Amino acid sequence: MHDLKTLRLERLREEHIPAILQIEKVANGAPWSERSFRNELSHPHGVFFTALLEGKVVGYGGVWLLVDEAHITTVAVEETLRRNGIGRRIMLDLLKAAKERGMTCSTLEVRAGNVGAIKLYEGLGYAVTATRKGYYPDNKEDAVVMWMYELDKWEPPIR
Ligand X SMILES: CC(C)(COP(=O)(O)OP(=O)(O)OC[C@H]1O[C@@H](n2cnc3c(N)ncnc32)[C@H](O)[C@@H]1OP(=O)(O)O)[C@@H](O)C(=O)NCCC(=O)NCCS
Binding site for ligand X (CB under 6 A): 27-28, 75-77, 82-88, 110, 114-117, 119-120, 123
- Strand partners for 157: none
Give me the numbers of helices (H) and strands (E) for the chain, helices first please: 4, 7
**Side chain identity, residue 58:** V
Nearer to ligand X, 18 or 123 (CB): 123
Q: Give the shortest CB-110-to-ligand X separation in angstroms.
A: 4
Nearer to ligand X, 27 or 52 (CB): 27
CB 77 to ligand X: min, Å: 4
- Residue number with CB closer to ligand X (9 or 75): 75
d(CA 108, CA 62): 11
Euclidean distance between CA atoms 62 and 98, whole angstroms: 10
**Which residues, 6+ apart, have CB-to-CB distance to 95 below 8 Å?**
70, 106, 124, 148, 151, 154, 156
Name the residue nearer to ligand X (CB basis): 8 or 83: 83
Residue 6: left if φ>0, alpha if ψ -120 to 50, beta else—which one? alpha
CB of 76 to ligand X, least distance (A): 4
CB of 93 to ligand X, least distance (A): 12
Whose Cβ is closer to ligand X: residue 88's or residue 99's?
Answer: 88
Closest approach of Cβ 109 to ligand X, in Å? Answer: 7
